[in-house]
Amino acid sequence: MLSITCPHCGPRAEIEFLCAGEPVARPDASAPLDGAALAAILYERDNVRGPHEELWWHRHGCRAWFRVVRDTRDNAVLP
Ligand SMILES: [Zn+2]
């Protein structure tokens, strides 16, 4: 089981958190967005092998969102 360090609560067990995956930049609301661009925003991810930044939510704690860097090769959470 992973140990995730919440910036507010400190180290906690993985079961207290929800991983929302890779952070995705929101598109400019004033620019037109076609179907292919929308599909890319919604579904295309880098699928990195190695250190990977993810959004995590401390759902059973302070309910804060924060970023974690996790190595996808060995599942280690990096400082
Ligand atoms: Zn927390």
Ordered structural domains, the chain, with CATH: 1-20+46-79 (3.30.2270.10)
pLDDT at 25: 85
State the burial class of residue 4 (Cβ atoms within 10 Å of its Cβ: 0-12, 13-18, 19+): buried
How far is ligand 1, taken at its centre, from the CA of residue 58, in Å? 5
pLDDT at 31: 85
65: phi then psi, degrees, rounded to nearest 5: -95, 140
**Measured in whole angstroms, how far is the alpha carbon of residue 16 from the centre of its chain?**
15
Instruction: Note the pLDDT tens digit of each residue in 4-24.
Output: 999 999 999 999 999 999 998
How far is ligand 1, taken at its centre, from the CA of residue 40, in Å? 31
How far is ligand 1, taken at its centre, from the CA of residue 45, in Å? 26
